[in-house]
Structure 1
Amino acid sequence: MKRLLAVACVLVLTGCSTMPSAYDLPLPGGADLGDRPYRVVVEFDDVLDLVPHAGVKVDDVAVGKVEDIGLSEDGSTALVRVAVRGDVLLPSNALARLRQSSLLGEKYVELAPPAQRSATPLVDGAVIPVTRTNRNPEVEEVFGALSMLLNGGGIGQIQDISRELGAALSGNEAAARSLLSTVDGFVGALDGHKDEITRALDGMDRLASSLESRKADIGEVLDGLEPGLKVLHEQRGRLVGLLDSLDRLSSVATDVVDRSREDLVADLKALEPTLRTLAEAGQDLPQSLELLLTFPFTDAVLDGIKGDYLNTYLTLKPGGRR
């Protein structure tokens, strides 16, 4: 405080026209930057109420301070330039987080190494991009979310769900228990057949891969079907008319069969003796037909003929008129 008063007195006494910013005044406390600090630019989506001269910590130990806060050229991110003590070693892929010392405390920047450390160190002039920075939720945000939950949020809905669930299960405990037992059995069956299910899914995956590899052939087939489908579409009216005609024909045929059913049954009964006689004839009928075609010479006579001629002796008796 004495140093601040002294600086103010000097400015007033010397009549300086340019007043320095409050952020340029030296403040007591803070981290010791040493003789050779290095500076890093950290990109944030939102710096909230972070101010210059705020602390920079590593593992809750103050190792630097915020020197300047600005905006990127497009105004989408905040650029925070921090100074870090030279003996603090961090990897080049270090993370930066905006933290708060207590519930109502000041904001500070926390630097930390990631799980997978880079082999190269963080050097002077490096930039920590916005993809590796984040911030804690504000107290106002937490209370706002809590207020939304309590006032017309999920609490009332949970109460309604609990009440309706109790009313639905009241008196149906046995059915609910049976349902849960069935679900348990179903899940157990699925677990017992998980190998088959896995094989089926693998088969579907192979089928999908095969279809994907033959996509061009399938497209060619579908393109080839297009003319046929177009003709079917154009002939749709005629096809419908044909089906209607077939429907009428079937109706007429059914009516004819119904009307002539008794005559048809009588004709079949009249044919019964003839068919029975033909069945009893057996092989005699085919043999008779063979004899009819070779009359008067049977197959046995033809087997006895030698050569191409047949010698016969005829006896003619005179009589009658000459």
Structure 2
Amino acid sequence: MTRRFARSNALTSTARAVRLMVPAALTVTLTAGCTPPSLADLPLPGGGPSGDAYHVTVEFSDVLDLVPQSAVKVNDVTVGSVEKISLSGWTARVRLKVDKKVHLPDNATGAVRQTSLLGEKFVALSAPTGEKAVGNLSEGDVIPLSRTRRSAEVEEVLGALGLLLNGGGLAQLKTINEELGKAFDGREENARDALRQLNTFISGLDAQKADIVRAIDALDRLSARMNGQRATIGGAVDSLAPGLKVLAEQRAQLTTALTALGELGQVGTRVINQTRDNTVASLRALQPILSELVAAGDHFPKSLDFMLSYPFPPNADQNIVDGAMNLHLTLDLNAANILSNLLIANSPAGAAPPTVATVPRTPALPAVPPVLGNVLPPICIPLDQVLPGLDKLSAGCTLPPECKSLPPGSPIPPGGYLPPDGVVAPGTVLPAGARLIPGTILTPACILPPAPGVPALPVAPPGSATGEIIGQVGGLIDVLKGGLHP
């Protein structure tokens, strides 16, 4: 709390003289009377409420010359009085007595004001203007220093005016005005243009005020987070020092490496330009190899499947029942056939391959579905190429219904046909000599009805799917290739 005991203004001296005349007059009156009146009979400023009241404490940084019994007003209406003024550190605590009929919000504000230019001080209470009213002011509440203020004193206003008139630089205004006139003389258009640009700039800033405030708020949040991680950031910056030191020491080596990299780029460009024709020729030479790999299709995955079941073919698991493989062997004990086989086995290299043993088939063959149309013309089938499958035929080639080719390794359906080494024999819808991928199986619908005098194709009997194999002369290599099939 600040107390002013000396005032340099004449108006203040006059006000003090007027205030001192009142006690003097009271003294003369008391002396002249016979019986002095009591203190309760004296008229005091302000005055407390006549009915019930509640007490509120207000904190001020400066109460000026506020005294007890001063008035407490709300909207210029007296609603109470000042009971006590005390000092707590550098803060003045004013205890007020307010009429209980007066209702104020809990976040009310207080101010020390003056009734007139030379009038007495009083405490003004009011509702907050910059925020919403909350709660009700009641007994024992405290209005903190952050919600109080005081009005300017006459002495302060006159002192500031005197400082401005005596030493505030008003004498230099003429000089400033003359210098500004000389500076803008002949440059009025430039000054106007600068003002227009400044107006445009200020208008742009005003239009983006919300964005600027949002950016400042985001920057504030970023600064708060960086301040919370100051130790981590400091550690990271400290960790950069050794790396920067190494880079500084190896600057010459890095420069040399970058220079050498540029020279390497030039050499590489020259080499590529000189070997361009050879590179293109090499790529063209790779085209047949890549084409054959594409034609191989899914043979590689199937060969891997065969490796997993070696030395048995992949379809051997279909003939395994309860951990045992069912095999049906047909033994040819004909002495002539045995002697013929022995002679063929001992024949020199280049001799004719073994012939298929003719074994009578007891089960009847399934009915072959009728075939519509004749044999496909060779023009539809490229006889000089390996046909990947019947689904690869051209649009002009029509097949009988259900005539399909099964990929190598598939189970042979009853009545199906497995061309030896992929070469199709006469008796199918395909022209004789057409080549398929070895192991490809033709379904029964692809078999033509046997012509008179032409031997029928060896097809799989109905029992072959359960492990029954019709005997055929061959060796282990024939077994590893996928089994012996008629």
- The alignment's TM-score, normalised by the length of structure 2, stands at 0.37
Indicate if the aligned counterparts of 1:34 and 1:86 stay in contact, CA closer than 8 A. no
In structure 1, the partner of 2:168 is 153
Tell me how far apart the structure 2 counterparts of residues 96 and 67 of structure 1 sit (CA, whole Å): 15
Question: As a proportion of its length, which structure holds more helix?
Answer: 1
The residue correspondences of 1:1-322 to structure 2 (distance < 5 A) are 5=30, 26-27=42-43, 30-31=46-47, 33-72=49-88, 75-115=89-129, 116-177=131-192, 179-180=194-195, 183=197, 187=201, 191=204, 225-231=240-246
Indicate if the aligned counterparts of 2:105 and 2:136 stay in contact, CA closer than 8 A. yes
Secondary structure, counterpart of 2:78 in structure 1: strand
Q: Deviations over 1:172-223 (max 9, x none)?
A: 3344345556x369749x959x89xx79x97xx79x97x97x9999989866
**Structure 1 residues 10 and 122, CA, compared in 2 at 3 Å: closer, same or farther?**
farther
Tell me how far apart the structure 2 counterparts of residues 60 and 184 of structure 1 sit (CA, whole Å): 46
Letter of the 1:66 counterpart: V
Letter of the 2:87 counterpart: L
**Structure 1 residues 235 and 132, CA, compared in 2 at 3 Å: closer, same or farther?**
same
Tell me how far apart the structure 1 counterparts of residues 234 and 105 of structure 2 sit (CA, whole Å): 54
Q: Deviations over 1:141-160 (max 9, x none)?
A: 11121122222215345433
Tell me how far apart the structure 1 counterparts of residues 97 and 45 of structure 2 sit (CA, whole Å): 15
Indicate if the aligned counterparts of 1:31 and 1:63 stay in contact, CA closer than 8 A. no
Indicate if the aligned counterparts of 1:91 and 1:117 stay in contact, CA closer than 8 A. no
Q: Deviations over 1:55-75 (max 9, x none)?
A: 111110111111111111xx2
Alpha-carbon RMSD: 4.6
Letter of the 1:127 counterpart: V
In structure 1, stretches of 5+ residues that fail to align are: 13-19, 244-322
Tell me how far apart the structure 1 counterparts of residues 199 and 149 of structure 2 sit (CA, whole Å): 47
Tell me how far apart the structure 2 counterparts of residues 215 and 63 of structure 1 sit (CA, whole Å): 54
Tell me how far apart the structure 1 counterparts of residues 199 and 139 of structure 2 sit (CA, whole Å): 64
Structure with more contact order per residue of length (Cα contacts < 8 Å, sep ≥ 6) = 1
**Structure 1 residues 43 and 32, CA, compared in 2 at 3 Å: closer, same or farther?**
closer
Letter of the 2:115 counterpart: S
Greater shift, 151-160 or 126-135, is seen at 151-160
Aligned-pair CA distance for 1:232: 5.3
Tell me how far apart the structure 2 counterparts of residues 131 and 231 of structure 1 sit (CA, whole Å): 56
Tell me how far apart the structure 1 counterparts of residues 167 and 49 of structure 2 sit (CA, whole Å): 51
Q: How many residues align?
A: 217
Aligned-pair CA distance for 1:84: 1.4
Tell me how far apart the structure 1 counterparts of residues 242 and 148 of structure 2 sit (CA, whole Å): 60
Secondary structure, counterpart of 1:42 in structure 2: strand
Secondary structure, counterpart of 2:50 in structure 1: coil
Indicate if the aligned counterparts of 1:44 and 1:133 stay in contact, CA closer than 8 A. yes
- The alignment's TM-score, normalised by the length of structure 1, stands at 0.53
Indicate if the aligned counterparts of 2:48 and 2:97 stay in contact, CA closer than 8 A. no
**Structure 1 residues 128 and 25, CA, compared in 2 at 3 Å: closer, same or farther?**
farther
**Structure 1 residues 222 and 150, CA, compared in 2 at 3 Å: closer, same or farther?**
same
Tell me how far apart the structure 2 counterparts of residues 78 and 217 of structure 1 sit (CA, whole Å): 45
**Structure 1 residues 26 and 65, CA, compared in 2 at 3 Å: closer, same or farther?**
farther
**Structure 1 residues 216 and 46, CA, compared in 2 at 3 Å: closer, same or farther?**
closer
Letter of the 2:62 counterpart: D
Tell me how far apart the structure 2 counterparts of residues 9 and 185 of structure 1 sit (CA, whole Å): 79
Letter of the 1:87 counterpart: K
Tell me how far apart the structure 1 counterparts of residues 134 and 192 of structure 2 sit (CA, whole Å): 59
Q: Deviations over 1:82-140 (max 9, x none)?
A: 11122111122211110001111110001111134544321122211111111001111
In structure 2, stretches of 5+ residues that fail to align are: 1-25, 257-486
Tell me how far apart the structure 1 counterparts of residues 105 and 192 of structure 2 sit (CA, whole Å): 58
Indicate if the aligned counterparts of 2:109 and 2:126 stay in contact, CA closer than 8 A. yes
Secondary structure, counterpart of 2:174 in structure 1: helix
**Structure 1 residues 25 and 159, CA, compared in 2 at 3 Å: closer, same or farther?**
farther
Bigger radius of gyration, 1 or 2?
2
Tell me how far apart the structure 1 counterparts of residues 95 and 122 of structure 2 sit (CA, whole Å): 13
Tell me how far apart the structure 1 counterparts of residues 55 and 172 of structure 2 sit (CA, whole Å): 52
Indicate if the aligned counterparts of 1:98 and 1:110 stay in contact, CA closer than 8 A. yes
